[in-house]
Structure 1
Amino acid sequence: MTETAAANPYAWRREVRTPAELAAAGPGNRFVGWPYTRNTVAVMEVDQAAAVVLVGTELADRLGVPREQRIYLRGWAYAEDTWEVAARPSLSSSGAIAKAADAAFERAGVGLDSLTALDVYSCFAIALRMACDAMGLDPLDPRGLTVTGGLPYAGGPASGYVLHSTATMAGLLREGGHGLVTGVGMHLTKHTCAVWSSSPGGLLGDAAPVHIASPVEIVSLYEGPATVAGYTVAHARDGSPEKGILVVDLPDGRRAHAHVRQAELIAEAESAELVGRAVRLAPDGRVNVAVW
């Protein structure tokens, strides 16, 4: 992604970086929420703008837009995952991405293997990984996952990034082919997929039916044993760890949130895999606190 951004004259960060440079925390690259450093997450503090003009064929003809310059929206779809992250049956997969992608490809009459280029929304690495899993796409696909360099490197004004990826894709497709542009909203909650093409066709239709999996019940306060389902460590702006944040499975199938406050346990959370770890929760005011 940094190589793509370096070749993009509109990118906000145009330095080629190695994976080790991006992942290693240090001065100028603090942890934001472990395991993500500043250089691996979206940069929104940018001075950028993009625009997309979408018209019908009749108006394009009247305006004299050359046919070889026209890019067509062949198919698109929208779906949602359960809003509360901890209430999602699976914390590591997205049924909504799969649903939106399948509907977009079906409407476009174009499959994943037929795509010339892709831009998968890239606010965090997990957004890319989940999208690849949902679509059956190899993260190391030789076509790459971005045409701009992605949110951490090309930059983008929040969800307005999709205007940049769409505009960049349009320029690429004037040489022919099909392209996929995806978007994400909230905490990996809202998902869009759009197939663009140098040739007309497909069926636009309406938005795909909203996909909401049956949510898992969340318990506010809980005392007793639990199992870690997912976690992170929040860091202060000076890079120091502040607290661990857990989502845990309870013995009865429900879930709860918990903080980790002890420094030695926070350090262990950043050095060992906690998912699947047995912990014990005890309420402290309005917050559950976990130890093991």
Structure 2
Amino acid sequence: MIGFPYTKLMNSNNDVDMAAALVMCSVERAEALGIARDKWIFLHAGTDCHEHNFVSHRHTFTDTPAIRIGGRRVLDLAEKSIDEIENIDLYSCFPSAVQLGAESLGVSLDRQLTCTGGLSFAGGPFNNYVMHAIATTMTRLRERPQETGLIWANGGYATKHAFGVYATTPHVHGFQHESPQNEVDELPRRAVATAIEAQGQATVEAYSVMHDRNGSVEKVRASVLLADGRRAWATSDDTQLGQEMCENEWVGKAVTLDATGDILV
């Protein structure tokens, strides 16, 4: 266990020695270079947008509206529904990213979610995973020229999102791109309370229990909501509390915080 509920295998690895490359050019240039037509892949549509930059300001941690908005728009531009996309690659640094991405895009967790194989040992964070996803999806589309691919790229704390729809034939309207950021920016934001302001009663919104290298409980990190709707951050070095939070669900439970943000229970 590293940070409950994730074991080491459920976390991405950034020390991975891999490489991928793409060649982008116009149709005219591809023809001039003699690149075989069955190697061509066309980008039908692309969108990009981001969540509220500071995690503390996001209205909830159980929803990623920028994925929903950006994903919906790229499908609209490509004139496709999510059910018409045969090949999907969701960014997968942690299980929560896959779960949030799938839910926001309307994708069932029971269907194919990656062409690349997942992030654990395929590029690692900051190591160009999405380039691998594009290259792998292109290879699959060459093998299945009647199909379409959708790739979701992510950066930060599920913060920045980019989407692309790919196929072996050009879209009737050519490549289209939009950034629906204004729609995301209009969404509600949480106000944040300082530790002193949050002293007293609060409700656990989300948490993780950090473990040391020997697998022993080390520290609790939690986000809590106050009665007025503001969010605050809390911690605890109480290993008994940490073990209890690993064994039982604490989301929604009432806790008491001191003036430094420590959980007193």
TM-score surpassing 0.5?
yes
What's the secondary structure of 2:14's corresponding residue?
coil
What's the secondary structure of 1:92's corresponding residue?
coil
The count of residues paired between Structure 1 and Structure 2 equals 257
Q: CA deviation at 1:209?
A: 2.6
- Aligned with 1:252 (options 204, 214, 228): 228
Residues 271-291 of structure 1: CA distance to partner in whole angstroms, max 9, x if unpaired? Answer: 11111000001123xxx0012
What's the secondary structure of 1:270's corresponding residue?
helix
- Aligned with 1:209 (options 180, 203, 218): 180
User: Do 1:120 and 1:182's aligned partners in 2 also have CA atoms closer than 8 Å?
Assistant: yes
Give 1:73's aligned residue: 43
Q: CA deviation at 1:115?
A: 1.4
Equivalents in 2 of 1:161, 1:237: separation in Å? 27
TM-score (norm 2): 0.92
Give 1:225's aligned residue: 201
User: Do 1:42 and 1:153's aligned partners in 2 also have CA atoms closer than 8 Å?
Assistant: yes
Residues 9-65 of structure 1: CA distance to partner in whole angstroms, max 9, x if unpaired? Answer: xxxxxxxxxxxxxxxxxxxxxx22111111011122111011111111111111111
Give 1:53's aligned residue: 23
Give 1:186's aligned residue: 156
Give 2:54's aligned residue: 84
User: Do 1:159 and 1:185's aligned partners in 2 also have CA atoms closer than 8 Å?
Assistant: no
Q: Which amino acid aligns with 1:237?
A: R
Q: Which amino acid aligns with 2:69?
A: K
Q: Which amino acid aligns with 2:119?
A: L
User: Do 1:159 and 1:184's aligned partners in 2 also have CA atoms closer than 8 Å?
Assistant: no
Give 2:262's aligned residue: 289
User: Do 2:193 and 2:231's aligned partners in 1 also have CA atoms closer than 8 Å?
Assistant: yes
What's the secondary structure of 1:228's corresponding residue?
strand
Counterpart mapping for 1:106-125 below 5 A: 106-125=76-95
Equivalents in 2 of 1:290, 1:207: separation in Å? 44
Gaps of 5+ in 1: 1-30
Give 2:102's aligned residue: 132
Residues 51-109 of structure 1: CA distance to partner in whole angstroms, max 9, x if unpaired? Answer: 11111111111111122210111111111111222321121111000111111111112
What's the secondary structure of 1:149's corresponding residue?
coil
Q: Percent identity?
A: 33
User: Do 2:18 and 2:122's aligned partners in 1 also have CA atoms closer than 8 Å?
Assistant: no
Q: CA deviation at 1:244?
A: 0.5
User: Do 2:42 and 2:166's aligned partners in 1 also have CA atoms closer than 8 Å?
Assistant: yes
Q: CA deviation at 1:227?
A: 0.3
User: Do 1:87 and 1:218's aligned partners in 2 also have CA atoms closer than 8 Å?
Assistant: yes
User: Do 1:232 and 1:246's aligned partners in 2 also have CA atoms closer than 8 Å?
Assistant: yes
Q: Which amino acid aligns with 1:108?
A: A
Q: CA deviation at 1:203?
A: 4.7
Q: CA deviation at 1:157?
A: 5.4
Equivalents in 2 of 1:256, 1:236: separation in Å? 25
Greater CA drift, 205-214 or 131-140? 205-214
Gaps of 5+ in 2: none
Equivalents in 1 of 2:177, 2:141: separation in Å? 24
Equivalents in 1 of 2:117, 2:65: separation in Å? 26
Give 1:145's aligned residue: 113
Q: CA deviation at 1:206?
A: 3.7
User: Do 1:78 and 1:193's aligned partners in 2 also have CA atoms closer than 8 Å?
Assistant: yes
In structure 2, relative to structure 1, the CA distance for the partners of 1:250 and 1:159 (3 Å cut) is farther
Residues 126-174 of structure 1: CA distance to partner in whole angstroms, max 9, x if unpaired? Answer: 1111111111110111xx1111211014344525100001001001101
Equivalents in 2 of 1:197, 1:154: separation in Å? 23
Runs of 4+ in 1 over 6 A off after TM superposition: none
